[in-house]
Amino acid sequence: MTQHSAAPSLVVVGSIGIDTIETPVAKRESILGGSASYACAAASFFTNVGMVGVVGTDFPKQDVDLYKHFKINLDGLETVPGQTFRWSGVYEANMDNRRTISTDLNVFASFQPKLPAGYRRSPFLFLANIQPTLQLHVLDQIDKPRFTVVDTMDLWINTAKEDLLAVVKRVDMLTLNESEARHLSGEQTLLKAARALLSLGPKYVLVKKGEHGSILFSERSIFLMPAYPLEEVQDPTGAGDTFAGGLMGVLASAGTVDEPTLRKAMVYGSVVASFGVEAFSLDRLQTLTLAQIETRAGRFRDMMRV
Ligand code: AMP
């Protein structure tokens, strides 16, 4: 799919899916999802982002139009014969626990990501949740990125640990949730888990704790960040991808990565994610403005001041 736009400052590779999701609030069928969709939409508020992913010929035109609405560079989006990846899940009452009902890889099963020439010198790379061999394939094609982040999930820790460790060794930051951090490291406390994960190679480990916020670990420091308190959550799907996408967008727009910039990027990532979970799919992000993000970021910072 060719869309002639400027070379992206941030490249995101991840899943693009059609989801069916039931939360305690509502059930929605066949809605746009996938880690790359959430991450690219979130990043687009801050930087020029390019998407790498695959869809089938059944992928709705309205969803491509939505990507264009976010001004996502689609040069790396492939359309191949077959059905788009599909996933369905159900959330328990507290929305903390989620059960996967079905995963149909479809066109994902034979996907080999190819970076368009214009993406290869992108300084920022986000390897969103996708099979680790595909993440490695992308790392092999990019030309000395300034900052690379990888996200993962339990499935890959269970089924592709060696490949996942090979990815982790080559990136600057690993992001994962609390239980995945314990699972991958084999350590019980988060501090020990983070230290073990840092020793695998990355400079930073970012542990996501859902509605309890996130923690950034580096060799020298720990930064604790709460989550923006919300009155209503409709669908937490993709919150981590939205958070990481927003964070990477802010870093790419700053062009540098130091600890103050990372902390600021975490604030913006959380704020965009807080909007995202107020509705299903990309529905809330679609109407979101930078002014609304700034207003909420200001309130959020006030809440954290001591
Ligand atoms: P998250 O809530 O961060 O786990 O992201 C949810 C999104 O991940 C959904 O929109 C799904 O389409 C997508 N997803 C679910 N399972 C997988 C998988 N095995 N690989 C890649 N993406 C997936």
| CATH number where 137 lies | 3.40.1190.20
For the chain, the maximum distance between any two Cα atoms, rounded to a whole number of angstroms, is 56
Ligand 1 environment, Cβ below 6 A: 15, 17, 19, 33-35, 87, 103, 129-130, 155, 237-238, 240-241
Ligand 1 centroid to 93 CA: how many Å? 20
Ligand 1 centroid to 15 CA: how many Å? 7
- 186 domain-assigned: yes
- 2 domain-assigned: no
Tell me the pLDDT band of 5, cut-offs 50, 70 and 90.
low
Q: How many helices (H) and strands (E) does the chain have?
A: 11, 13
- Contact between 138 and 13 under an 8 Å Cβ cutoff? The reply is yes
Other Cβ atoms closer than 10 A to 67: 23
- Averaged pLDDT, 161-167: 98
- 196 domain-assigned: yes
177-198 as b/e: b if 16+ CB within 10 A: bbebbbbbbebeebeebbebbb
In angstroms, the CA 289 to CA 85 distance is: 29
H helices of 160-278, in order, are: 161-169, 178-185, 190-198, 239-254, 259-276
Backbone angles phi, psi at 167, to 5 degrees: -70, -50
Residue 59 has pLDDT above 70, yes or no: yes
- 3 domain-assigned: no
Ligand 1 centroid to 16 CA: how many Å? 8
Pocket probe for ligand 1: among 106, 107, 108, 153, the residue whose CB has the most ligand atoms within 8 Å is: 153
- 287 domain-assigned: yes
- 28 domain-assigned: yes
| Among 272, 222, 282, CA closest to 247 | 272
- The pLDDT tens digits for 122-150 are 999 999 999 999 999 999 999 999 999 99
Tell me the pLDDT band of 1, cut-offs 50, 70 and 90.
very low
- 207 domain-assigned: yes
Q: Is 18 helix (H, G, I), strand (E, B) or coil?
A: strand
In angstroms, the CA 125 to CA 119 distance is: 10
- Averaged pLDDT, 260-277: 97
What domain count does the chain have? 1
CA triple 278-280-285, angle to 5 deg: 65
Q: Which domain holds residue 196?
A: 10-304
Nearest residue (CA) to ligand 1, atom 6: 238
Ligand 1 centroid to 175 CA: how many Å? 15
- 289 domain-assigned: yes
